[in-house]
Amino acid sequence: MTLIDLDGRSYSYDAATFSYWDQPLDAVDVLSGNRAEGGLVFKIDSDSAPAQIVYDVGGLFGGKIIIDLRRAPDQTQ
């Protein structure tokens, strides 16, 4: 997981993830139709704001999942 800020800078999740959250998002395989829950901590520059979360799926058929934080999620689902 990587966070991209409004200025295009990228940040990895911080080690504080594991002490801050009761349920940190840990490495897990999520099979089709299932889901995973947990929290992550990103420490970013105070003069910016989050813009995207990027998850690199990797593997043979990998790709990237990009979550745009600049717009509200689709509430119709």
- Distance between alpha carbon 40 and the CA centroid of its chain, in Å? 7
What are the residue ranges in the chain where pLDDT is below 50? none
pLDDT tens digits along 5-14? 999 999 998 8
Residue carrying structure tokens 């990895």? 12
- Residues 16, 36: Cα–Cα separation, whole Å: 19
pLDDT of residue 5: 95
φ, ψ at 42 (rounded to 5°)? -120, 130
pLDDT of residue 76: 55
pTM, entire model: 0.71
pLDDT of residue 8: 94
pLDDT of residue 75: 59
